[in-house]
Amino acid sequence: MKWQSPRMVRNLSDPVTGFQVLGERSSGTNFVTQMLLRNLEGVERRPIYGWKHGFIDRRYSPDPGLLTVLVYRHPLRWLQSLHARPLDLSDSMRGLPFSDFLRHEWRGAFKREDGTEEPSTADMDPKAKTNFANPMRLRNAKIAYFEEMAGMPSRMVYIRFEDMNRAPRATLEAIAKTFDIALKPYTPVNTFKGVTEKPYIPRQMPRISATDLAFIRQELDLAQEARIGYRLEDVPRFDGLSQWDRRSLRSLARAVRPRSGGSARRGKG
């Protein structure tokens, strides 16, 4: 997967003093946030929109000095990662086989202190206040909602997670140049999400069946995916990294490492 520069919109001239990263769950928002915090000079995190994963209130976009950063991830890897870690989703969407997960009505939910669920209205259609039929339909709507912000008074960065992962310096330099932000001495993010001590190693995902792939293709807005830089055929096996990157090589080594008491297992990608 080749690197591409972030898409940027600046139709407000005041200097950038703060930022918030937005994006769907499992899209790399924590990683991008840490990259910006560690490498942009004089720019602080400002969680003005509130919950970063929902249909946010777009009226905050022209707030003085605010840089809004949208993070996207390849749809197939996003679906697989979300299925593996169903953050802030109803119990009805947990523990499902991947095929069933794809076909399940989207139900965002938070846990109350007593263990009961509170439906996430921030995941519902902003106008109809109804749940989306499946994860792909939710993705279509959220991307369209975020893309409309480019035509509003705002300072916007649209970035693919894989691009920040593959070429962080080039990505940071592009953002800094467009918005007149000074860069600190480069500090990488080498741990998982940048907020744990666990080293980051791309996961080897299983192949998606032809039946499931056909259903995903049917439900996704493929033209919109192409506009933000994704094709279903171009799957980033190592989250955008080169296959020769040491993290990619470690990922491969982990996939073929023998199980305890068993033989080597071949990784699928």
The three-class DSSP label of residue 249 is: helix
Instruction: Tell me the two tokens of residue 36.
Output: 């910006």
Does 207 fall in a domain?
A: yes
Does 250 fall in a domain?
A: yes
- 119-176 confidence digits (pLDDT tens): 999 999 999 999 999 999 999 999 999 999 999 999 999 999 999 999 999 999 999 9
The structural domain count of the chain equals: 1
The H or E element that residue 147 is part of is helix 135-147
Does 47 fall in a domain?
A: yes
Show the domain range for 34: 7-85+135-255
Does 175 fall in a domain?
A: yes
Does 248 fall in a domain?
A: yes
Does 168 fall in a domain?
A: yes
Helices (H), 41-132: 75-84, 98-103
Give the whole-angstrom CA distance, residue 106 versus residue 132: 5
Does 30 fall in a domain?
A: yes
Give the whole-angstrom CA distance, residue 114 versus residue 98: 29
Looking at residue 33, its pLDDT comes to 97
Does 91 fall in a domain?
A: no
pLDDT 10s digit of each residue in the chain, 269 long?
A: 789 999 999 999 999 999 999 999 999 999 999 999 999 999 999 999 999 999 999 999 999 999 999 999 999 999 999 999 999 999 999 999 999 999 999 999 999 989 899 999 999 999 999 999 999 999 999 999 999 999 999 999 999 999 999 999 999 999 999 999 999 999 999 988 888 888 889 988 899 999 999 999 999 999 999 999 999 999 998 999 998 899 999 999 988 875 544 433 333 33
